[in-house]
Amino acid sequence: ESVRRYEERARSSRRRQTKRMSDAARVPLSDPSAPMDASDGSSSTMLNVVTCGCATNARHPRTAAFYVLLQSAPLVTYLVVAAFVESFVFVFVCIVVLSSMAFYVTKNVSGRILVGLRWWNEIKESGESAWVFESKEDVSSIGSGDRRIFWLFLWGVPTAWSVLLLEALFSFKFQWGLVILVALVLAIANLIGYIKCKKSA
């Protein structure tokens, strides 16, 4: 009798697992109209708190949260880590690496998902530099909150770095001004690229 009960439980467990798999298979992964990660309520709630409600109606909260984290990481490193770590080289390397990561991910991933835009630069055979812009035709999967978050931090980060650069120059902290300048150049490059991309879309 105990063996029979065990077999019945095993069959019931397999039926439940099969049902879950069949239910999951009903949502196609390639469906462009389905939000990528809008089901993550915790990410959306936390993002709304951090951005003071700007993330309302965001259809890609995980992507937006990762974007905000990457954009904020160099600034947080400069403002917090630099206050406790005396090694200038260590802080410099951390900020350059984090700024480079933010630049690359924003240019190639975040912009494509959050606003449907992407840009890059090509060198022609003549040696001239050419801007190349790409825009998504179907933007139904992009929410208004996604756009607000993207443009808020795309403008906000270089603005913050500019204020910090002025503060460093007026305080005669030229060494730290060099660090800020590197991060500022990368942030402005992305800003200019996306402004041009939006105008040509």
Q: Per residue in 44-77, pLDDT tens?
A: 555 554 455 555 666 788 888 899 999 999 999 9
Question: Left, alpha or beta for 172 (phi > 0: left; psi -120 to 50: alpha)?
Answer: left
Q: State the pTM of this model.
A: 0.70
The residues with which 129 forms a beta bridge, in sequence order, are 123
Rounded to an integer, what distance in angstroms lies between the CA atom of residue 50 and that of residue 37?
18
Instruction: Please give the distance of CA 14 from its chain centroid, rounded to a whole number.
Output: 39
pLDDT at position 26 is: 34
Least confident of 18-22, 85-89, 118-122, 159-163: 18-22
Rounded to whole angstroms, how far apart are CA atoms 142 and 57?
9
**Contact criterion met (CB below 8 Å) for 49 and 135:** no
pLDDT of 5 above 80: no
Give dist(CA 87, CA 73) in Å, integer: 18
What does the pLDDT look like over 162-177, one tens digit per residue? 999 999 999 998 989 9
What region does 105 belong to: left with phi over 0, alpha with psi -120 to 50, or beta?
Answer: alpha
pLDDT confidence of residue 11? 60
Of 57, 82, 55, nearest in space to 164 by CA: 82
Q: What is the average pLDDT score of the chain?
A: 78
pLDDT at 31 over 50: no
67 contacts 153 by C-beta, under 8 angstroms: yes
Instruction: At 104, list the tokens.
Output: 């690359």
pLDDT for position 46: 53
